[in-house]
Amino acid sequence: MLRLRSNTPRWVIIVIDQFIALFSLAFAYLIRFDLKADKELIRTEWAILSKSILIYFLVKLVVFYVFKIHKGLVRHTSTADLRRIFLASLTTSIIYWVLGFIRFYQFDGYYLFPTSVLVMEFLVCFMVMIGSRFFVKALFLETIKNRGEEERILIYGAGISGLITKRTIEKDARINYAIVGFVDDNQKMNGTRLEGVPVFHTSKLEELLVENDITLVILAIQNPNEENRKKVVELCLAKQVKMQKVPSPKSWINGEFSTKQISKINIEDLLGRKPIQLDTVRIASELKGKTVLVTGAAGSIGSGLVKQIALFEPKQLLLLDQAESPLYDLQNELKSDFPFLNFEIIVGDIRSLERMDRLFSAFNPSYIFHAAAYKHVPLMEDNPSEAVLTNVKGTKNLVDTALKYAAEKFVMISTDKAVNPTNVMGASKRIAEIYAQKANEKGITKFVTTRFGNVLGSNGSVIPLFQRQIEQGGPITVTDERVTRFFMTIPEACQLVLEAGTMGKGGEIFVFDMGESVKIIDLAKKMIQLSGLELGKDIEIRVTGLRPGEKLYEELLAQEENTIPTHHPQILTAKVRTEADEQIVAVNDLIGLFGAQKNTEIVAKMKEIVPEFISNNSEYESLDKK
């Protein structure tokens, strides 16, 4: 007996196909005579048929061999096999029809087969051959299926991606999934079936999870409604149901999707919002055909900006950073994704005024997006001189050089930590904001500042830290249970920087709508769940205490500021107080303190420039006026 797991010999497939052909021919004759043929009629028909039966088998054999029907693996029958069998069957029928005319007109006045028999034989032969192959395939898949504990799943998304996911799961013998149904946001699909599997509306998800003992939900929508996706993920977390997602078709291997590519849900899927609607016409009119400089180009925000700007066809894109390895990686990525982009990799330090002057002299950029900065609060608290050198002097160098070479626009990327700063890093960014704003009065260059909170997945942010800690088995460290932060994804932040930067007329500080603040400890708990672990059993959360300079809550506006809405619902203009000219003198004095390397003097001068800078949990609290 042939085993289903072994390859069936080719001659066996050929013999079976010939038997199917013989059955089809016999069945076609029975249908022709309404199953009531008497002996005399059979004898008459056989006398005609007997002269062509060998031709019938010979044609079948040759045509099927030419179309390589016997070479397909029956247990892996696909639509390509179906098409090949259809064409082979159709070809044999056409040949019989042509040979029938030759026999009728050149020999005995009889056709090879009656037309009705030819049509019926084609249909029966094609259907039986296909049916037998899919039957063997189904039997094979059933015999090799994993017989372990069955996992009951729902697929979120009843579109093309969801259907491909279903088919991929069903043919993967290594997994034992029972697909209970599809869930979709489209109300019109509720109550329908997709390849026999029922489709339910998303509103019934909670009921489905409970009543069907669902253990896994797979997100298979490529461009979901962010709010709906967030609700689905939150509900699954609440019901302790595992979640996975199907990657973008761009990452499918050779255009084909494998169950190995189904991955875990990211925390970004919980914090994402509606896609940002950009004024692409305005941005294109500002950037197309221009030379654009991005500082800190190899960083998270910088590289994100580079990829966004590349879409608007600048004349030349200048990528400035001092980190050579990340720049090299970005260079390779751009060559692959934007083969026609004219860009220049520049390894350099914004703290060197001479280097910046040579850069502007050589390339004369029209647009500057300034993303280079030191941003880690604890490190800058310990190294205030370096914070001043990069965040203040580096910004001053760029601002002064942009003015000297009459750049069209300068967009500075700031942070919510510049608002009522409690640490050196935030204060240094606020001083940089002040200098850029005052520069707006000195030349034709328009200086615009954008201010936003934490960026998900950026270098040094809490998300990669938590991911590493989870991978290492914990514990996850949280500084305080009360700490909250605003979060935004890298693409969101970069898109809003572009929108705000191009709409700015000069002198504005644009504030982004960051949504609701998130408790960091809640973020940690959800990341543990998304990793399939259990808090307290598999991994712990440890509260370590606030770090020097760290706030419990971040702000996007100081008390003296209020906002004015813009045409974009997620961008507001902050109305800030006008800074005195004396502050610019103080900024130069601050930079001059670098050589002394006296941290206390440096921080004291920063507090003089930014009176609202009140240190928190820091050795510099003694400098604050009581």
What domains can you pick out in the chain, each with its CATH number? 10-144 (no CATH), 151-265 (3.40.50.720), 280-620 (3.40.50.720)
Number of Cβ within 10 Å of residue 276's Cβ equals: 19
Query: What is the pLDDT at residue 142?
Result: 60
What contacts 12, CB < 8 A, 6 or more positions away? 2
Q: Among 127-136, 155-164, 508-517, name the most confident range.
A: 155-164
d(CA 405, CA 403) in angstroms, rounded, equals 6
Residue 108 CA: distances (Å) to CA of 52, 58, 573: 12, 21, 95
Averaged pLDDT for residues 37-56:
64
Number of Cβ within 10 Å of residue 616's Cβ equals: 17
Averaged pLDDT for residues 395-405:
95
Band (pLDDT 50/70/90 cuts) for residue 290 is very high
For 230-276, write each residue's pLDDT tens digit: 788 888 888 888 887 877 655 555 555 555 666 677 776 666 566 56
Check whether 415 has a pLDDT greater than 80. Answer: yes
Number of Cβ within 10 Å of residue 44's Cβ equals: 12
Query: What is the pLDDT at residue 559?
Result: 52
Secondary structure letter of residue 215 according to DSSP = -
On the question of a cis peptide bond just before residue 314, with omega within 30 degrees of 0, the verdict is: no
Check whether 383 has a pLDDT greater than 70. Answer: yes
Higher-pLDDT residue of 543, 369: 369
Percent of the chain with pLDDT over 90: 18
Amino acid at 274: K
Query: What is the pLDDT at residue 273?
Result: 60
d(CA 26, CA 587) in angstroms, rounded, equals 99
Query: What is the pLDDT at residue 220?
Result: 81
| Helix/strand/coil for 256 | strand
Q: Among 216-225, 227-236, 607-616, name the most confident range.
A: 607-616
Averaged pLDDT for residues 514-520:
75
Percent of the chain with pLDDT over 70: 75
Lowest mean pLDDT of 252-261, 419-428, 516-525, 615-624, name the range.
252-261
- Looking at every residue in the chain, the average pLDDT score rounds to 79
Check whether 219 has a pLDDT greater than 50. Answer: yes
Long-range contact pairs involving 102-111 (C-beta distance under 8 Å, separation at least 24): 103/52, 108/51, 110/48
d(CA 548, CA 51) in angstroms, rounded, equals 100
Active site residues: 417
Query: What is the pLDDT at residue 617?
Result: 80
User: Sheet harboring 177-184: ordered strands across?
Assistant: 193-194, 197-201, 177-184, 151-156, 216-219, 242-245, 263-264
Check whether 347 has a pLDDT greater than 80. Answer: yes
Check whether 44 has a pLDDT greater than 70. Answer: no
Kindly write down the DSSP assignment for every residue of 23-59, as one continuous string. HHHHHHHHHHTTT---HHHHHHHHHHHTTTHHHHHHH
Query: What is the pLDDT at residue 458?
Result: 64
Please report where in the chains the tokens 């994704």 appear, as a residue. Answer: 337
- Does the global pTM surpass 0.85? no
d(CA 468, CA 603) in angstroms, rounded, equals 33
Residue 478: closest CA among 524, 416, 518: 524
Check whether 432 has a pLDDT greater than 60. Answer: yes
Q: Using alpha carbons only, what angle is made at residue 29 by residues 24 and 30, rounded to the nearest 5 degrees?
A: 95
SS (H, E, C) 290-313: CEEEEECCCCHHHHHHHHHHHCCC
SS (H, E, C) 382-399: HCHHHHHHHHHHHHHHHH
Which alpha helices (DSSP H) does 107-151 contain, by range?
115-144
Query: What is the pLDDT at residue 314?
Result: 92
Strand partners, 183: 156, 200
Strand partners, 197: 194
Residue 131: closest CA among 97, 92, 63, 82: 82
Band (pLDDT 50/70/90 cuts) for residue 368 is very high
Query: What is the pLDDT at residue 76?
Result: 53
Strand partners, 201: 184
Check whether 5 has a pLDDT greater than 50. Answer: no
Query: What is the pLDDT at residue 494?
Result: 85
Widest Cα–Cα separation across the chain? 121
Averaged pLDDT for residues 274-280:
67
Query: What is the pLDDT at residue 349?
Result: 94
d(CA 363, CA 347) in angstroms, rounded, equals 14
Check whether 356 has a pLDDT greater than 90. Answer: yes
Q: Among 145-149, 231-235, 552-556, 579-583, name the most confident range.
A: 231-235
Averaged pLDDT for residues 122-135:
74
Higher-pLDDT residue of 290, 24: 290
Band (pLDDT 50/70/90 cuts) for residue 4 is very low
Lowest mean pLDDT of 332-341, 419-428, 489-498, name the range.
489-498
For 175-209, write each residue's pLDDT tens digit: 677 888 888 888 888 888 888 888 888 888 888 88
Q: Among 358-372, 574-588, 591-605, name the most confident range.
A: 358-372
Check whether 499 has a pLDDT greater than 90. Answer: no
Check whether 3 has a pLDDT greater than 50. Answer: no
What contacts 130, CB < 8 A, 6 or more positions away? 82, 85
Lowest mean pLDDT of 15-24, 82-91, 137-146, 301-310, name the range.
137-146
